[in-house]
Amino acid sequence: MARRRTRGPLVQVTHRLSGALLVLFATVLIVYIGRDGYHDNADESVGLLDAVYYATVTLSTTGYGDLVPQSDGARLVNVLLVTPLRVLFLIILVGTTLEALTERTREEWRLSRWRSTLRYHTVVVGYGTKGRFALQSLCATGLKKEHVIVIDPNPSSVDAATADGYAGVVGDATRSEVLLHAEIRWAKQIVIATKRDDTAALVSLSARQLNPGARIVAAVREEENASLLRQSGADSVITSASAAGRLLGLSCLSPGAVAVMDDLIQQGSGLDLVERPVVKGEVGNHVRDVEGLVISVLRGHRVLAYDLPEASPLRLTDRLITIARTTPVRET
C-alpha cells in the first residue's frame, strides 16, 4: 500500500507559525498607529513595547485590563480589526493542533484497518539492489504490491519503497518488535536481502521463531555462511558471490547459455522457470510424456533430473520444474 506524500510536520508547523507571527505583527502595527487612543494605567503613555504587550495579551485572549482602548476610534478599530485578527490567530494555533491530531488519527486508523485484513503477505527485509529485483520478479508473476511490506533501517530506502507502491517500515529487522510491526506472524513468505550475512542470520532466526510456517528465502555474500542461514531457519539460501562467479565463468565458455540463463531468471516475460504440482491425469506417466518442458521432479526433499530412471513414473505428490513461455502480468 503506497502512502500518500504530504508535507512534513516541521514544514506545516513553520507555515502556521509564520502566519501567526504575521497576525501578531499586524496587530502590533494597528495598535501602535492608533496609540493615542489607548490608555496605560502604568505611565499614561503607549509606546512600541506597550503595543507589543497589548497585541500579545489580546490575541491570546488573556486581557489583563491595564492597557485599554479609551477613545471611540480605538474601540472601533478593536471591533473591526483587532477582534477578527484575534479569531484568526486562534484558528491558526488551534487548527495546527487539530490538523496534526486528525492526520495522526486518520493514519493510525488506516494502518490499523489495513493490518487487520493483511494475511499471507510477503515481507522483504532490505530494499537495496537484491530486494528491489526480488520484488520485481515476484510482482511479474502476479504478486500485488499491496501485499508487500518492506523493512529497512534506512528511511530513504523505505521512502523509495513507498514511492514504488509498497508499504514500508523503518527499523532494524533483527528486533522482534519491528518484525511484529510488519505483521510477520501472518506472512506467507519472507525475503531477506540484507547487506551483511550476520544480519541475515539474525533476521532469519527471529522471523522463524515468530512465524514457524512461513517460507524464508535469504541471500548471503559468502558461501561459507549459507549453512548458518539454513540452521537459522531459512528454507532457501542464495549465495550472490558464487552465483555471479559461475555466470562469469559460463559467459566465457558459452555466451549464448548466459543469455538463456538471464532470460530464465527474469520472471514475467520470455522463458520462465515454473514450479507446478502433478495433476491427476499425469500420475503414472513418464516425464517425457508430460505437457511442457520438464527439467526436474521434486519428490519430497529430493530434486530428480528429468532423465533419471527414478523420476518416472510420476506420483501425485510430486512437483515439476518446467520451462514455459509467459507474457508479462499487467497490473490492474
pLDDT in tens, 51-91: 887 787 777 776 666 677 777 777 777 767 777 777 777 77
Which cell numbers in the block locate residue 270?
Answer: 520470455
Question: Cα separation of 11 and 170, whole Å?
Answer: 21
Residue 213: per-residue pLDDT = 93
More reliable by pLDDT, 329 or 116: 116
Question: Strand, coil or helix: what is 174?
Answer: coil
Amino acid identity, residue 203? V
Mean pLDDT to the nearest integer, 287-312: 88
Model-level pTM? 0.58
Task: State residue 234's pLDDT score.
Answer: 93
> Does residue 284 carry a pLDDT above 60?
yes
Which runs of E-coded beta strand occur in 140-267? 148-152, 167-170, 187-192, 215-220, 236-239
pLDDT at 329 over 60: no
Is residue 178 within 8 A of residue 211, CB to CB? The reply is: no
- pLDDT tens-digit series, residues 8-34: 556 666 777 777 788 888 888 888 888
Q: Shortest CA distance to 241 belongs to which of 197, 199, 203?
A: 197
DSSP state of 268: T
